[in-house]
Structure 1
Amino acid sequence: MTSQNGFLLSFIKYGENDAVLHCFTEEDGFQTYFLKGIYSKKNKKKAFLLPLSKLNFSVNSGRSTGIQTVSKFEMTEISDVYTDIKANTVIFFIADFLNQVLRHENKNPLVFFAIDEFIQQLNLENYRSHLFFLIKILKIQGVAPLLGEGNFLDPETGIFTNSGTHHFFDSENSMLWKLVLSSPNPYEIKIPKNLRKNFLDSILIYYHYHVSDFRTPNSLEIIQQIFE
């Protein structure tokens, strides 16, 4: 039996009472766990199954399937973000996003710390924090744009050029990218409300170019509506 600390990215009900969990753990990166009895009537811990909730798992290695079975788990931190409709919308969006881009990620303390930091920002009601977090993940994974003298970001090459190559990457949006990439603390940057939608769209376009099989999270439309 081993102990794991991790963020819950997604969960699927299996049978009547069980569930399969996808998590990003501090010790081993992306992991899939089998959780028995979580949906039984007497089990009150089903309330812990929230996107990006920080949990501690005691797990046993599976014998036939290779999936580790959770013998017990606890929530290590209680957050208010789930009672805030804007923060809750951002949480669901980022959990959906991470569930696909971290599928093949092994142990990575920088990613784990970045998720922790992002949730802290949401607790501080920084409702633009997801924009900076998405770019932080690009930097950690080594596919972020290279800073240069140009005023237009080419999303396909990841290089700033002197002429535009994509309509979402005009000079205004490209300069936002450059500001975030060069800032030691991007979470302090103020992005005008009227620019956030296009900026988020440009980030997702960049992911389509640089992350294999990337798909736009299903919750994108909801998060765009909430912040209009």
Structure 2
Amino acid sequence: MIVTTKAIVISAIKYGDTSLIVKLFTESDGVKSYLLKGVLASKKGKLKKGYFIPLTQLEIVATHKGKGTLESLREVKLSTTFKTLQTDVVKSSIALFLSEMLVVSLQEEEANPALFKYLEKAFIWLDSNGEIANFHISFLIQLTAFLGFYPDDSNIEAPYFDLAEGEFVLSLYNEVMEGATVEVFKQFLNTNFDTSKQIKISRNVRAHLLQQLIRYYQLHLSDFKKPKSLDILQQVFG
């Protein structure tokens, strides 16, 4: 089946000397993987390697066989031209980290229009805004709503957040978020990128909150692997 759809680049892995295997989150079919033969050697082909930098937003024409094998791309063009996301060192570090988080978080080969729209708007916001220190925290918290484990804030006045149960609690049973970290975490709930950038937070607390969020993902997603780029991101903000 030939499909025309928007897509967001999640990852690109070198295959052999001249090819790439790219994973895209498509608007039409969710996560799809494609084999791009010879793309690293070709200078005149329709498929340029520059299109496949993580979080790049594309319009593609693809052949989807739907048999669990690698699909193929016929045509690719940019749907959004980023101005700073891939050139600003802080933003590109955030992009690399978030792309790794998406690789382990997004697995379904089925359409999810609401999630696609969220990702599309989120990365356009990151590209066009300057105050971005809280972006990745806000992004990961909001993303949990689409993954099925958004924090239950019905008991938000409680002093601990139970990472395994995803709710605020009065007593310690499982791993919890507590102290200054949980108080800042509460401020992020039910906010958007514009409001969350106004939250005042120290570097140490932000770093600890990020580590706690990654642990939260680990407890709620099977086969979760800690992003390799986390250390780079912490250095950028440290």
TM-score by length of 1: 0.90
Q: Alpha carbons of 1:167 and 1:145: their partners in 2 closer, same or farther (altered >3 Å)?
A: same
8 Å CA contact 1:121–1:129 kept in 2: the answer is no
Q: For 2:62 and 2:181, how far apart are their aligned partners in 1?
A: 45
Q: Which residue of 1 aligns with 2:80?
A: 77
**Alpha-carbon deviation of 1:187?**
4.0
**Alpha-carbon deviation of 1:65?**
6.8
Q: For 1:89 and 1:43, how far apart are their aligned partners in 2?
A: 30
Identical columns (%)? 26
Match of 1:151 among 116, 140, 159: 159
8 Å CA contact 1:37–1:43 kept in 2: the answer is no
99-108 vs 47-56, greater mean Cα deviation: 99-108
Q: Alpha carbons of 1:137 and 1:41: their partners in 2 closer, same or farther (altered >3 Å)?
A: same
Q: Alpha carbons of 1:17 and 1:164: their partners in 2 closer, same or farther (altered >3 Å)?
A: same
Q: Which residue of 2 aligns with 1:24?
A: 25
Matching of residue 141 in structure 1 with residue 144 in structure 2:
no
8 Å CA contact 1:152–1:175 kept in 2: the answer is no
Q: For 1:203 and 1:187, how far apart are their aligned partners in 2?
A: 20
Match of 1:206 among 216, 219, 233: 216
SS in 1 for 2:177: coil
Matching of residue 103 in structure 1 with residue 107 in structure 2:
yes
Q: Which residue of 1 aligns with 2:133?
A: 127
TM-score by length of 2: 0.87
5+ long unaligned stretches in structure 2: none
8 Å CA contact 1:164–1:170 kept in 2: the answer is no
**Alpha-carbon deviation of 1:193?**
3.0
SS in 2 for 1:150: coil
**Alpha-carbon deviation of 1:67?**
2.7
The runs of at least 4 aligned residues of structure 1 exceeding 6 Å deviation read: none
Letter in 2 for 1:49: F
Q: For 2:51 and 2:190, how far apart are their aligned partners in 1?
A: 37
Letter in 2 for 1:46: K
